[in-house]
Amino acid sequence: MASKIAVIGTGYVGLIQSVGLADFGNYVTGVDVRPEIVERLSSGEPTIFEHDLTEYLRRNLDARRVRFTTAVSDAVSDAEVVFIAVGTPENGDGTSDLSQIRAVVDAIKASASASTVVVTKSTVPVGTNRWISQKLNGGETDRRFVVASNPEFLREGRAIQDFFHPDRVVIGFDDPDMPAARDARALLEDIYRPLYLTSTPFVWTTFETAELIKYAANAFLATKITFINQMANLAEAVGADVQTIARTMGMDGRISGKFLHPGPGYGGSCFPKDTKALAATGDSVGVDMSLVKAVITGNDAQKARTAEKIIRLSGGSVDDREVAVLGLAFKAETDDIRESPAISVVAALLEAGATVTVHDPKALVGFRAEMERRGFADGRIAYHTDVFACITGAEAIVILTEWNEYRNLDLPRAYTLMHRGVRSESRLFDTRNVLDPDAARKAGFVYIGTGR
């Protein structure tokens, strides 16, 4: 049966949730505080880049199963289920900034009628769903809110696919055996019914376990990345090949080769903040989270090391040299630049006196806004929509994101376009190991990979 659903916050998570649930046949109203987002989505223009999103958005707009508004009350007043998908960025001390969550909870309480199921998709620290439940049900009210914790595991770049084919769905209740929780479970089972039909595992659990599952999963993946980055650094120092090491480790089914790709450090809107929030949660209850803390410092060091290595292997200085940086998004197939290693690497190169030209197939606009926000005015960085224009005249190329466009780069052409003064060889820093070193050398480059 089709349900009436409100999704509050239509960023990466909320927008996918809105169009996905609408595609299941539900009636969804997506809410965002930013009018420009609502306007664009209402006209069928996605505000983020995700494969197939345009098609899903337009199809469900046309079928009148999804609509967008800035008014929480409009969306929530007759919704049976309200999903919260607003941001939970980090505070300066690593704890989570829950101000967006608090604002939304107040708005739901003011607008929801009858009994509403409130589902938290945002990543929130342990205790938050219990707090939301107490807040919604506190004071004089004859309404009964059932709160569920339903953390999101989508991968940016594959978010639509992950929505329709998740590895698992986790749903936590205050007490899963309470009658109200059983009713809410039946409603959520109904909403997610198509996933049942594809045998998606559902994990029904408590608030605290659901909240911690999300952080545990992200911290573990961040640990794998940091581990292989440190192995890459060691391989470099002793003359071993991290690619062969990672591939061979991955042949062991207990380890798996996923997330064993060395690079300039992890970024994105999740791993950096979620590892810090997990460490902060450990501190708040006096539990040792030293492994997670080592991952955080190890990742910061990897980003710094990437810039240092470029400078060191450019003869010790990039002062007055032009460096072409390819790839600004924190990973391929997304336009998200939040916490991207490109931000700190480009900043370090600029501070070392380089002139930097940059290219990215999707993330150029966001990166430009972020660098301007950080005080790097236009003029110091040249932004290119064409990769060969970006490379032309550069003395070094740095690949920071594993876009397929760079894997298939026409290396002889790139080499020809570069500047070759007396002082420079044409260096190619392949921080993601996306290129064939022999092919790069054959084209004329001094090839510098990571851990190989």
Ligand X SMILES: NC(=O)c1ccc[n+]([C@@H]2O[C@H](COP(=O)([O-])OP(=O)(O)OC[C@H]3O[C@@H](n4cnc5c(N)ncnc54)[C@H](O)[C@@H]3O)[C@@H](O)[C@H]2O)c1
Q: Rounded to the nearest whole angstrom, what is the least distance from the CB of residue 273 to ligand X in the complex? A: 7
Closer residue to ligand X (CB): 275 or 306: 275
According to the binding rule CB under 6 A, does residue 324 interact with ligand X? Answer: no
Among 270, 329, 387, 394, binds ligand X (CB under 6 A): 270
Q: Residue 146 pairs with which residues in a beta bridge? A: 117
CB nearer to ligand X: pick between 85 and 318? 85
Rule CB under 6 A: is residue 370 a binding residue for ligand X?
no
Among 329, 395, 392, smallest CA distance to 363 is for: 329
- Nearest Cα neighbor of 34 from 58, 11, 56, 14 is 11
Contact predicate 343/337, CB 8 Å: yes
Cα–Cα nearest to 69, from 59, 54, 79? 79
> In degrees, to the nearest 5, what angle opens at C-alpha 366 toward C-alphas 362 and 372?
140
Contacts of 242-248 spanning 24+ positions with Cβ under 8 A: 242/433, 242/450, 242/451, 242/452, 243/433, 243/451, 243/452, 245/451
State the nearest-atom distance from the C-beta of 270 to ligand X, in Å. 5
Which token pair is 333?
Answer: 């197939």
Interaction of residue 57 with ligand X, rule CB under 6 A:
no
Residue closer to ligand X, measured from CB, 85 or 187: 85
Using CB under 6 A as the binding rule, whether residue 150 contacts ligand X is answered as no
Of residues 75-94, those binding ligand X (CB under 6 A)? 85-88
Which residues ranging from 155 to 194 are in contact with ligand X (CB under 6 A)?
A: 156
By CB under 6 A, is residue 119 in contact with ligand X? no
38 binds ligand X (CB under 6 A): no
Measured distance CA(79)–CA(108) in Å, rounded: 10
**Helix or strand (DSSP H, E) at 310:** helix 290-312
The DSSP code sequence of 131-178 is HHHHHHH-SS-S---EEEE----PPTTSHHHHHHS-S-EEEEESSTTS
What Cα–Cα distance (Å) separates residue 116 from each residue in 77, 78, 181, 184, 187? 9, 9, 12, 9, 11
Piece of 4-12, 180-188, 220-228, 240-248 that binds ligand X (CB under 6 A):
4-12
Q: Rule CB under 6 A: say whether 20 interacts with ligand X.
A: no
What are the angstrom distances between the C-alpha of 373 and each of 12, 319, 341, 343, 357?
Answer: 21, 24, 16, 11, 18
**Comparison of 36 and 142: residue with beta carbon closer to ligand X:** 36
Comparison of 104 and 245: residue with beta carbon closer to ligand X:
104
Stretch that binds ligand X, among 59-67, 100-108, 187-195, 363-371 (CB under 6 A): 100-108
Q: Is residue 116 a contact residue for ligand X (CB under 6 A)?
A: no
Exactly one of 32, 80, 339, 402 binds ligand X (CB under 6 A); that residue is 32
Catalytic pick among 148, 246, 270, 364? 270
Q: In the window 59-78, what residues touch ligand X (CB under 6 A)? A: none
Residues in the chain: 452
Q: Shortest distance, CB of residue 296 to ligand X, whole angstroms?
A: 16
> CB of 3 within 8 A of CB of 141?
no
Out of 34, 51, 165, 407, the residue judged to bind ligand X by CB under 6 A: 34
| Per CB under 6 A, 128 contacts ligand X | no
Closest residue (Cβ) to ligand X? 11
104 belongs to the binding site for ligand X (CB under 6 A): yes
Active site residue 270: yes
Handedness of CA 114, 117, 121, 124 (dihedral sign): positive
Which of 6, 37, 160, 394 lies at the binding interface for ligand X (CB under 6 A)? 37
User: Which range of residues in 26-34, 277-285, 292-300, 376-384 is near ligand X by CB under 6 A?
Assistant: 26-34
Instruction: Provide the minimum distance between the beta carbon of 55 and ligand X in the complex, in angstroms, as a whole number.
Output: 20
Q: How many residues make contact with ligand X (CB under 6 A)?
A: 26
For position 269 contacting ligand X by CB under 6 A, the verdict is yes
CA dihedral 387, 388, 394, 397 (to 10 degrees): 50
Residue 65 CB, shortest distance to ligand X, in Å, is 20
SS3 state of residue 55: helix
Comparing CA positions, the residue from 234, 293, 225, 292 lying closest to residue 264 is 225
Q: Give the catalytic positions in this structure.
A: 270
Q: What is the contact surface with ligand X in residues (CB under 6 A)?
A: 8-14, 31-34, 37, 85-88, 100, 103-104, 122-123, 152, 154, 156, 269-270
